[in-house]
Structure 1
Amino acid sequence: MDQLKTILSRIDGRGYKAYKDIQGRYDFQRFRLFVDYVQGDPFASPSRIRVQIPQSIARYPEEWFKEPHRRVALEDWICRVWAQKTRRFSGGSGTGKSGLIAVDIPGQEILSRTAVVVNRRFVEVRITVGLPARGRQVLGQKAIEMLCRHLPQLVEEGIPIQQLDTQAIEKRMCLVDNQQAIRKKLAKEGWISFVADGAILPRESGISDRPLKTASVVPFYAPESMATTIEVPHGKPLRGMVVSRGITLIVGGGFHGKSTLLQALERGVYDHIAEDGREYVLTIDTALKVRSEDGRRVEKVNISPFINNLPFGKDTLRFSTEDASGSTSQATNIIEGIEAGANALLIDEDTSATNFMIRDRRMQQLVAKGKEPITPFIDKVRQLYEEKGISSILVLGGSGDYFDVADSVMMMDEYQVVDVTDKAKRIAQENVMERVVEGGDSFGEGSKRIPLAKGFDPSKGRKEKVDAKGLKTIFFGNSSLDLSGLEQLVDPSQTRSLAELLRMMSKRVDGEKNLVMLLDELYKEIDEKGLDILSPFQGHPGDFALPRKLEVAGAINRLRTLWVK
């Protein structure tokens, strides 16, 4: 610390680039400080530092981090503690980002992150700081206050076990143990989702993912016919609703909670923090939300299970377009999802192309099949399950024709689920569907595509340009990538990871391995070496969170430069 103070005093008042002199390692009394990257300008991306305290001082019990799911939960917990504590010291006078002290801020999900590392040797927190300046002159004394007074105080308050709420951490461990047990039960029984009684599904607002907290909010309760009880390691067995494999319909009137339930199921691919309301809403991690996506680019996807005989003889075995329609984009999204390993499709009619979902008898009589290239999803959903083992959960409010192909039907009635499967089947028997089943006797083949290197060029001029902006945009080379169609992407730190995964993929594409092989290789390396391998910064990748393979595949497929064979 004395050495750091000496350097900061020496460069006080000099040009901002003099801050480069502080890069390196400093041994404080109870922790180490690593200054990995120093910004060249007060308006540039903040500097990156790490604080590392040995376990001989932190004294975390190994049971907190021995199991992978517990380690992720503990690192997430510490990250949240620091996100809260750094607000006290962050900001203040100065130019640009002067005075900033921050860590990656988690949302409602518990994600594998790089912001905190806990292992047998140490606890490490990765921090961004805005080194203080007036104009472009170093404020050395302010920097001493930040790095030599405030930072040690933060370390002492936010890392040693005696300063932590150990009871709350133990509760977190019990929660994630229970979530892990339920996920194992889903896999064992072949279930798609579990929604526990008492879950709060509605969110605070359209721009907030926090739970709605009003007197009128209706907790979830499973109907008896759809209920099960799951034993968990901690606490009483949990009762709730199971969504089994097959075709499940969610029906009901408008504003009764259909889409709210589906949104909870789609976010259930991630674990959630306590008091989120959805901490015991869990879905298999290979479930994919699918929607139509007008205007997206498509590169050689076999959409022939759904679309054939396009005008002017356009090929649907290797369908490509710069501007997909609602129906062709939704067909593409399903086929690409199957290619990437999705085992369940989540579809809401509100975000679907109507002509992709249904073609009723009257329309069949008016427009002959020879003039209609689209085979609607209703005629493929059963084949998709029976031949490929891919389940579907569908929100529907306007078409009872799906009753004929459904395994179960649940109705949302004032935010409560009612099992109407028997009633729906009886209605289907009494009102025989007169429409003609289209699309043949089998689902058809999907795509196995091999990316080519020329479609993965991240260069812009003489430099590589790979960057993320917010949750839904990536800049890759000369193009921008719109990820709005990836509705299960939940954290900007996942998007930053996606950008770097695309960069890594650009080095691996060889024209020989298909997309799935490349993804498997990439995730195997992450499993072995950790998410730190994504970082272009040596020592400090503090703002990444792990996305699923399905989102990485989705990002690759939306590259406007993608070429495949």
Structure 2
Amino acid sequence: MGGRGAYYKAKYGGGRGRGGGRKGGRGGHLPPPPPGQARGGTGEDLRAFLRSLERQSYGAYQELRGTAWTLQRGVQLKIDQCQKDAFAPPSRCRVVFEGAAAQLPNEAYATKVSRIATGDWISRKFFDAARSAGDDKRTETGGWGGKKGGELRIAVCSQFVLERTACLVDGSGGVEVRFTVALPASGRSIEGIWCARVLCERALDLALKAVVAREDADLARHIASVIKQRSLRDALAAKGLVAFIGDGALLARRAGNDDRPMVDGAVAFDSKKCGGLRVELNGVTGLGLPLGLSLICGGGFHGKSTLLQALQVGCFDKVPGDGRELCVSDPNCVKVRAEDGRSVQSVDISSFIGDVPGRPAGFTRRFSTSDASGSTSQAAAICEAVEAGATTLLFDEDTCATNFMIRDERMARLVADDREPIVPFVRRAAALSTKHGVSSILVLGGTGDYFSIADAVVVMDAFSPRDATADAKALAGDPPPMPADAFRATPRTPKPGVPDGRTGCKALSSFQYGDNNDCDVSGVEQLVEVGQTRACCAAIIHAAKQRHASVASLLDALDGLDLDAIQPAGRRDGDLSRPRRYEVAAALNRLRTAKFEIIEKKRGRDVMDET
């Protein structure tokens, strides 16, 4: 043998060995790296090595794990994990650009906000390029023994601009793009030549299109849109607002399973009938909802819930063209709803639920159940949100427990207060705002009980808002009786528990935390993409390894970590998205194996006193 064949045989070895298949010789081991460096070499070295693996047993791909290959000057391909089987989850890879190779404009990485926006933009460009070229399509031919694999995929981005591990941009302008590759095979034999084409050509081409061959004007618009949304949100507090919807916003979505803006029939938001609620925020005119209690009223199908759904994601930035860029809300807002059947552990709901028949006195001071009712689940959700630091609560009557929200005069005459343990929210809402700084926004269409205590009332009429505060006050009767006792916000010590068995997440609505222990988060409506649910699971696993004095301190600790820090040691997965602390808390509170202990302190420290 001579020429190139002899060269590569001498370099990588030959003959049959570990993992050898029925066809061809063994491709050999990669040589050990120099001290302090990862195994690997140049792109040509990678191509040659993969060709030498042609028709070998699939297990020989494991030689690639932990390797780094310089594809061109300043650009490396890093292979972090290799699948052990052609039918296993795909392998995880990264293309890493040095700052000089990425050539990003300075404004793309000058601040953390711009780096998050740039990473989001690059992730979308990689996804679009892969889809346009068909590189995200899996090859399947000839049944079990046919060719399979070859697809390159990056995490799918939602309509929101989030901090993700799919693409990281550092302070020097360096870029790291993370994606998965299904290493090609025929049956269980390696398709080395095909794999070389995928890793050395297609992966590099997609990364270059996303990072280097870019339209700087488009990137600049993307960053500017995110910065503008952040500035509007940051300006709310100084204006005494909890939410703002700018004129021209398009709030309606295409469908319940399609979060893109409605194309036909969408009505642009117009605040010209909003009277005193019409404000200007950073040069944008629109509807401003003040601190306190705001009601969104109107007939069915006139846009009440559409407005609230836009407000509940107003804490997140959206991509340009989403339609909701001018809709922002308190970053500490939490959507509250009833969730029949959820788990509740050691939550003090005594502010809303008094002594329960058949239970000892003080039972609701440490309320626990594996099958909560509508009213107890909603009471727990409010207390859990306040414990996590929420300053605005959002309610839609369609998803609330009626007996928790209101109790009219006739029912009070029929069932005396001393026989009804539930203190409806209408009796707590005003004090929550005036005494404890927790505002509320309620969608109502079937009751006027809140009119007397509302600070603002907006009526939606054919998707057009109108300030109806004065009209509602004129119709209001006497305010509902207010409880004399304090609203309690009793802190708890969390004990998540290390998962016993498999963990993972494949859907937005749930994650697996150990064998036979799925956590249902379908009621956590501010989870907007599956990467956030996956990050909630990873965050809880990470937190379970430390001791935390309180739920708040656990959330504070997680807020101080980047997404890679919550992954298992050595993992650099590209499928996590940053959730807020409130979604992490909600997931933790719904984890059936998690335990909590009430923190007993002196009165005044564990109770939010009325005075």
Structure 1 length-normalised TM: 0.93
Q: Which amino acid aligns with 1:302?
A: D
Candidates 443, 447, 454, aligned match of 1:406: 454
SS of the equivalent of 2:596 reads coil
Counterparts of 1:233-312 in structure 2 under 5 Å?
Answer: 237-312=283-358
- Asked whether the 8 Å contact 1:117–1:123 carries over to 2, the reply is yes
What residue ranges of structure 1 are gaps of 5+ in the alignment? 232-236
- Asked whether the 8 Å contact 2:427–2:480 carries over to 1, the reply is no
Identity %: 39
Q: Distance in 2 between matches of 1:297 and 1:96?
A: 47
Can you list the C-alpha shifts for 1:83-119, whole angstroms capped at 9, x where unaligned?
1111212335346960110111111000011111122
Q: Which has the higher contact order (CA 8 A, sep 6+)?
A: 1
Candidates 497, 500, 504, aligned match of 1:459: 500
SS of the equivalent of 1:317 reads helix
Can you list the C-alpha shifts for 1:315-370, whole angstroms capped at 9, x where unaligned?
01111111110000000000111101010000000000000011111111111112
Aligned to 2:407: 359
Counterparts of 1:416-455 in structure 2 under 5 Å?
Answer: 416-428=464-476, 432-433=477-478, 437=481, 440-452=483-495, 455=496
* 1:218 and 2:259 aligned: no
Can you list the C-alpha shifts for 1:117-167, whole angstroms capped at 9, x where unaligned?
12215211111000001111111111011112222322332211xx21111
* 1:194 and 2:244 aligned: yes
Aligned to 1:518: 554
Displacement of 1:535 after TM fit?
A: 2.3
What is the total number of aligned residue pairs between the two structures? Answer: 540
Q: Which amino acid aligns with 2:278?
A: A
- Asked whether the 8 Å contact 1:7–1:22 carries over to 2, the reply is no
Can you list the C-alpha shifts for 1:456-510, whole angstroms capped at 9, x where unaligned?
13122xxxx2211210111112311000111000010001111100110110136
SS of the equivalent of 1:41 reads coil
Displacement of 1:539 after TM fit?
A: 5.4
Can you list the C-alpha shifts for 1:424-466, whole angstroms capped at 9, x where unaligned?
10111xxx34x8626x2244212200123xx513122xxxx22
Q: Distance in 1 between matches of 2:147 and 2:290?
A: 54
Candidates 532, 537, 560, aligned match of 1:499: 537
Compared with structure 1, are the counterparts of its residues 282 and 96 closer, same or farther at alpha carbon in structure 2 (3 Å cutoff)? farther
Q: Distance in 2 between matches of 1:8 and 1:446?
A: 61
Aligned to 1:26: 69
- After the TM superposition, which parts of structure 1 deviate over 3 Å for at least 4 consecutive aligned residues? 94-97
Displacement of 1:541 after TM fit?
A: 2.1
SS of the equivalent of 1:313 reads coil
What residue ranges of structure 2 are gaps of 5+ in the alignment? 1-42, 141-145, 598-611
Aligned to 2:445: 397
Candidates 492, 500, 518, aligned match of 1:480: 518
- Asked whether the 8 Å contact 2:249–2:327 carries over to 1, the reply is yes
SS of the equivalent of 1:156 reads helix
Aligned to 2:104: 60
Compared with structure 1, are the counterparts of its residues 436 and 277 closer, same or farther at alpha carbon in structure 2 (3 Å cutoff)? closer
SS of the equivalent of 1:508 reads coil
Counterparts of 1:67-146 in structure 2 under 5 Å?
Answer: 67-87=111-131, 88=133, 89-94=135-140, 98-119=149-170, 120=172, 122-146=174-198
Q: Distance in 1 between matches of 2:563 and 2:237?
A: 26
C-alpha RMSD of matched pairs (Å): 1.5
Aligned to 2:593: 561
Aligned to 2:602: none
- Asked whether the 8 Å contact 2:426–2:480 carries over to 1, the reply is no
Displacement of 1:26 after TM fit?
A: 0.7
Displacement of 1:537 after TM fit?
A: 6.4
Displacement of 1:313 after TM fit?
A: 2.5
Q: Distance in 2 between matches of 1:132 and 1:398?
A: 59
Structure with higher Rg: it is 2
Q: Which amino acid aligns with 1:12?
A: E
Q: Which amino acid aligns with 2:292?
A: G
Structure 2 length-normalised TM: 0.86
Q: Which amino acid aligns with 2:162?
A: L
SS of the equivalent of 1:210 reads strand
- Asked whether the 8 Å contact 2:77–2:94 carries over to 1, the reply is yes
SS of the equivalent of 1:169 reads helix
SS of the equivalent of 1:457 reads coil
Q: Distance in 1 between matches of 2:173 and 2:392?
A: 41
- Asked whether the 8 Å contact 2:179–2:574 carries over to 1, the reply is yes
Displacement of 1:55 after TM fit?
A: 1.9
Can you list the C-alpha shifts for 1:53-100, whole angstroms capped at 9, x where unaligned?
222122112221111111111110000000111121233534696011
- Asked whether the 8 Å contact 1:361–1:436 carries over to 2, the reply is no
Q: Distance in 2 between matches of 1:546 and 1:39?
A: 26
Q: Which amino acid aligns with 1:482?
A: D
Compared with structure 1, are the counterparts of its residues 92 and 45 closer, same or farther at alpha carbon in structure 2 (3 Å cutoff)? closer
Aligned to 1:538: 570
- Asked whether the 8 Å contact 1:534–1:541 carries over to 2, the reply is no
Q: Distance in 1 between matches of 2:156 and 2:393?
A: 30
- Asked whether the 8 Å contact 1:473–1:483 carries over to 2, the reply is yes
Aligned to 1:234: none
Compared with structure 1, are the counterparts of its residues 97 and 447 closer, same or farther at alpha carbon in structure 2 (3 Å cutoff)? farther
- Asked whether the 8 Å contact 1:344–1:392 carries over to 2, the reply is yes
Aligned to 1:159: 211
Displacement of 1:38 after TM fit?
A: 0.4
Q: Which amino acid aligns with 1:168?
A: D
SS of the equivalent of 2:403 reads helix
Q: Distance in 2 between matches of 1:378 and 1:102?
A: 49
SS of the equivalent of 2:68 reads strand
- Asked whether the 8 Å contact 1:338–1:446 carries over to 2, the reply is yes
Q: Which amino acid aligns with 2:130?
A: T
Compared with structure 1, are the counterparts of its residues 292 and 539 closer, same or farther at alpha carbon in structure 2 (3 Å cutoff)? closer
- Asked whether the 8 Å contact 1:195–1:281 carries over to 2, the reply is yes
- Asked whether the 8 Å contact 2:104–2:173 carries over to 1, the reply is no
SS of the equivalent of 2:137 reads coil
Displacement of 1:392 after TM fit?
A: 0.3
Q: Which amino acid aligns with 1:109?
A: F
